[in-house]
Amino acid sequence: MDGSMIKVHSYESMGTYDGPGLRLVVFLQGCNFRCAYCANPDTITCDGDKPTPVEEIVRMAVSEKPFFGKKGGVTFSGGEPTMQARQLIPLFEALKSEGIHICVDTNGSIVNDDVRKLLSMTDIVLLDVKEFNDKRHKELTERSNSNTLATAKWLEENGKAFWLRYVLVPGITSFREDIEALCAHFASYKMIQRIEILPYHTLGKHKYEHLGMPYRLEGVKENTPEEIDEAANIFRKYFDCVCVN
């Protein structure tokens, strides 16, 4: 290891939502997207991080290893982990040498050699595709989805397993034609192991008030069960690995 410091926001032990099995989830600081529904707005800026030596995260992961079982491991989420790809490479090497399973939850928007190396060492990539229609993607995230789609293609071409995650927001990402187009685009992908539909929730809303930030989805209601079923049924026409989280 080379003494790299990682900008950590927080940790969650025994997480069950971000990858298979029981996991240590490491939330990293800093994100290049500005998603209107971001549940962790306090991770977006690069301020307020806890610079943490690689060795400390390895120690924590190794100490929790008995709980991981066959399927669990460590997930890097955020924030956007690939913003720190270069610093994470020695950490991933150390975790791999301990036999620890790694997931990375990413918006897929950063494309460079460090990120490719990082994703090559990742066991399962959790790729967040926010919207297929780029105009709506830009309204939602203030960025284009072109690199995200390029990352998906790279994962497919390089035989890297990934889960495609889709946050379903009524009237924002719930357009039937966009979901159909997304499904048609990915229908031939063999490396998608799972499609996760994540219903919209307002659990992060209080953080915006606390941070003095406007909440851009004010007034948007959570999905009804019918809306979730409708979206899930579109995905199920194309994929047999759809779940609602």
Tell me which residues touch ligand SF4 (CB under 6 A): 31, 33-35, 38, 40, 43-44, 78-80, 107
What residue type is 240 in one-letter code?
D
CB of 80 to ligand SF4, least distance (A): 5
Nearer to ligand SF4, 87 or 107 (CB): 107
CB of 55 to ligand SF4, least distance (A): 26
CB of 105 to ligand SF4, least distance (A): 8
Nearer to ligand SF4, 34 or 153 (CB): 34
Nearer to ligand SF4, 31 or 95 (CB): 31
Residues 6 or more apart from 126 whose CB is under 8 A from it? Answer: 18, 19, 75, 77, 103, 104, 105, 106, 162, 163, 165, 196
35: nearest Cα among 165, 183, 194: 165
Nearer to ligand SF4, 38 or 231 (CB): 38
| DSSP for 58-111, written as a single string | HHHHHHHHHHHTTT-EEEEESS-GGGGHHHHHHHHHHHHHTT-EEEEEE-----
Nearer to ligand SF4, 38 or 100 (CB): 38
Q: Report H helices in the chain.
A: 54-68, 85-97, 113-120, 134-141, 146-157, 176-186, 205-211, 225-238
28: nearest Cα among 120, 70, 91: 91
Q: Label residue 28 exposed, middle or buried (CB < 10 Å: 0-12, 13-18, 19+).
A: buried
CB of 212 to ligand SF4, least distance (A): 17
Containing 195, the helix (H) or strand (E) segment is strand 192-199
What residue type is 41 in one-letter code?
P
Nearer to ligand SF4, 94 or 223 (CB): 223
Nearer to ligand SF4, 150 or 187 (CB): 150
Q: Is the peptide bond before 79 cis (omega within 30 degrees of 0)?
A: yes
CB of 100 to ligand SF4, least distance (A): 23
DSSP code at position 41: G
CB of 173 to ligand SF4, least distance (A): 12
CB of 79 to ligand SF4, least distance (A): 5
